[in-house]
Structure 1
Amino acid sequence: MRLVVLGLSLSSSWGNGHATTFRALLKAFAARGHDILFLERDVPWYASQRDCTDPDYCELVFYADLDELRSRWGKAIAEADAVIVGSYVPQGVEVGRLVQELARGVTAFYDIDTPVTLAKLERGDFEYLSPAVIPGYDLYLSFTGGPTLDHLERQYGSPAARALFCSVDEDAYRPLEVASRWDLSYLGTYSPDRQPTLERLLLEPARRMPDRRFVVAGPQYPADIDWPANVERIEHCPPADHAAFYSASRFTLNVTRGDMIARGWSPSVRLFEAAACATPIISDIWEGLDQLFVPQSEIILADGTEAVVAALSGEDAGAMGRAAQARVLAQHTARHRAAELEAYLEHAATAAAREPQVA
């Protein structure tokens, strides 16, 4: 099929998890024989931080504004078998209306931030999605599963809300033979609602274990954070270095945003990427996580500082890392997600063809 995707960014992974999610998914989708056009709004922040400009699995094009999107790419949107609009796309409500006006194929919203999106909608913040445009999408593809899917259909009128979790490119994320550098690592952009958890589960353990090595990699952390001396800071770790980063970590930490903890069933892409590298994971706790990984045999669930200190003081957890890797390779690779996406789009197209046509 011919697929058009309008996403936040494919070209730059700086400060967002969308790029790696789209790269893995679309690479695997193209491998199934499909043709993909990715339309990205040309914004200065990502333009100055691009680490992928010529992907071999899709055509990547930048547009300046809505007028150019309509005039230059309206025909491609109209003729596509399916069009997907992602969360956090600039002027996302207007983009969604344009897509719904022009597209003759299946239309879908891919929400890589579902709990954040719902919290914004409840506040009346329609930055990139509004209640009015949700029913116009044939599919609502959600980063979050569980009860949230029913909520999207009942409360917001989505014709079909389906879970499409993030995934991992197993070719890019795998164990590497590198020297161990850190006892506990964390990879993630600064977020105010994640910082208290990072404080409890990494910074305080670092203070209590001055002989151990820790690292926090990611941009936008405020200058006034009091980093313990044994916590290394890396401003940006590009995707090409992620596998080496995780492989150099005895354990890695998964920290979840508050809105996602409240909704549950919202695995971060970093969770699958770290597991694919067979790195043992220590995670905060939220509903649905135990359905993705078996606690204590595939992942360590930590409710506070003591649990992290105990894990770091314990025996080698290599077997746990390998068990998590096996789980991800069996259920959560980009190949699995691409097959799910294909099935969702084909089912939506079939359902649309069965609807009676209004004379």
Structure 2
Amino acid sequence: MRCALDIVVLGLSLSSSWGNGHATTFRALLRGVHAAGHRVTFLERDVPWYAARRDLADPDFCDLIFYTSVDELLACHSNRLAAADSVVIGSYVPQGVEVIDAVSRLLPKRLCFYDIDTPVTLSKLSHGDEEYLARRQIPVFDLYFSFSGGGTIARLRQEFGANRPLPLYCAVDLQAYRNSGARTTWDLGYLGTYSPDRQPALERLLIEPARQLPEKRFVVAGPSYPAHIRWPENVERIEHLPPSEHADFYSRQRFTLNVTRSDMIAAGWSPSVRLFEAAACRTPLISDWWQGIESFFPPGEALVIARTGGDVVTALVELDDRRREAIADAAYRRVASAHSAEARARAFVEAVENVPPRGELPATHSMRRLQA
């Protein structure tokens, strides 16, 4: 039996899912890691916008500790970070560049980066934007876990100098996401925070079909939508939906819509956690297209591809219950076999265990430092 690992994660947020997809991604992964017998500590920057909207303040699968500054992080947690078997720093951590520099100087046994925003990260770096990660820092990580697979992995290695770039897609907790048995309320629903680059697709694939099908019922859940958006009368709005209510939300839909950010579409191989969540609840999927989607959910078999509003209208009007259930069942089987929290946790732990601790590496590697 392998030894239990002591893993410390510094991430954007675990305690609050408000306005971010990081919390649910970390929750699923770390719950799976804990279930496999490993110890996890999550260090989260205490910021007011998440503090006011926490929906998981006391997780049962890890120690959640808040810090208020980089100085406090070092003063209170340096020993913990240096002693851990692996330290994982996530994307969009406040003062991320300073945090990475500070943690690297502690010479942790293994230092990893989990990029839950890889296409956005690489786009930023290509334009000289180092909001939470500096280009010079990428080669310092022993593992670079990427939200995106496909050609992005080769790009990380060849263009940015990542040592061991690996895809680590989001996953779903099958215990938390299951069909609730609730009666159908909406014909089509969408769950997602407002994003300017997603809005045109939402207009095309949900709002326009809602106008064409006034007898059908639609719903959009998520915060930050501008007041000027004109929602049809048959589109219900929910400002924020905590993860504890996601499963029931999906279960009440005949179909759920997935809309992908433009950077993710350009990169391909970047599945949203919403796809896995809805599939786990056996809700049929309608999604825009991006390269690689067929490896997760074969179109026509496990989901419906919609390039136009007409494609959505056709699905809502012409697909009978038997066909919908067949699509939902195929998607569920895919998720249960390959995209559960347990499956993703196994891949994560195996990747970490395959990297020797820095004390066991050649001196030239273990003495590596960040360049100023």
Flag whether TM exceeds 0.5 (same fold): yes
Residues 60-95 of structure 1 show CA distances to partners (whole Å, capped at 9, x for unaligned) of: 000000000001001100000000000000011111
CA deviation map 1:217-273 (0-9, x unaligned): 000000000100000000011100000000000000000000000000000011100
Preserved contact between residue 83 and residue 103 of structure 1 (Cα < 8 Å): no
Q: How far is 1:353 from its partner?
A: 6.1
Structure 1 distance, partners of 2:30, 2:295, is: 26
Give the alignment of 1:115-154 within 5 angstroms. Answer: 115-154=119-158
Amino acid of the structure 2 residue aligned with 1:336: A
> What CA distance in whole angstroms lies between the structure 1 residues aligned with 2:108 and 2:193?
38
Identity of aligned residues (%): 57
Match of 1:159 among 157, 160, 163: 163
Tell me the residue number matched to 1:310: 314
The residue matched to 2:219 in structure 1 has which SS? strand
Find the counterpart in structure 1 of residue 58 from structure 2.
Answer: 54
Report matched runs for 1:160-239 at 5 Å: 160-239=164-243
Task: Say if 2:81 and 2:106, in contact at 8 Å, map to a contact too.
Answer: yes
1:319 — aligned with what? Answer: 326
Deviations 1:125-163 (A, max 9, x none): 100011111001111100000010010011111101000
Whether 2:31 is the aligned partner of 1:44: answer no
* Aligned: 1:280 with 2:284: yes
Q: Secondary structure at the match of 2:336?
A: helix
- 1:300 paired residue number: 304
Q: CA deviation at 1:104?
A: 2.7
Name the residue aligned to 2:261. 257
CA distance in 2, matches of 1:134, 1:238: 33
Q: Counterpart amino acid of 1:160?
A: R
Give CA-to-partner distance per residue, 1:258-292, whole Å, 9 cap, x none: 00000000000111000000100000000000111
Q: TM-score, normalised by structure 2?
A: 0.95
1:65 matched residue in structure 2 = 69
Distance 1:9 1:277 in 2: 24
Is 1:80–1:103's contact at 8 Å kept on the other side of the alignment? no
Which whole-Å CA distance do the structure 1 matches of 2:59 and 2:109 have between them?
25
- For the 8 Å contact 1:283–1:300, the answer to whether it is kept is yes
- Contact 2:109–2:359 under 8 Å retained in 1: no
**1:23 matched residue in structure 2:** 27
The CA distance in 2 between the partners of 1:357 and 1:16, in whole Å, is 40
1:43-76 CA distance string (max 9 Å, x none):
0100000011111111000000000000100110
Question: Shift in Å at residue 200 of structure 1?
Answer: 0.4
Aligned pair count reads 358
Name structure 2 gaps, 5 residues minimum.
368-372
Q: Which of 347, 351, 358 is equivalent to 1:344? A: 351
Q: Is the 8 A contact 2:16 2:54 kept in 1?
A: yes
Aligned partner letter, 1:166: C
The SS at the match of 1:184 is strand
Partner of 2:36: 32
The SS at the match of 1:156 is coil
The whole-number CA distance in structure 2 between the counterparts of 1:191 and 1:6 is 25
Q: Is the 8 A contact 2:118 2:148 kept in 1?
A: yes
SS in 2 for 1:97: helix
CA distance, structure 1, for counterparts of residue 267 and residue 28 of structure 2: 25
Query: Which portions of structure 1, spanning 4 or more consecutive aligned residues, are displaced by more than 6 angstroms?
Result: none
Task: Give the distance between the partners of 1:291 and 1:236, measured in 2 at CA.
Answer: 31
Post-superposition offset of 1:354: 5.9
From 362, 365, 370, the counterpart of 1:356: 362
Shift of 1:356: 2.2
Distance in structure 2 (CA, Å) of the matches to 1:122 and 1:197: 25
2: distance between equivalents of 1:91 and 1:156?
21
SS of residue in 2 equivalent to 1:132:
helix
Aligned match of 1:335: 342
Partner of 1:349, secondary structure, is coil
TM-score by length of 1: 0.98
Counterpart amino acid of residue 356 in structure 1: P
- How far 1:21 sits from its partner (Å)? 0.6
| Deviations 1:164-222 (CA, angstroms, capped at 9, x unpaired) | 00000000001111010000000000000000000000000000000000000000000
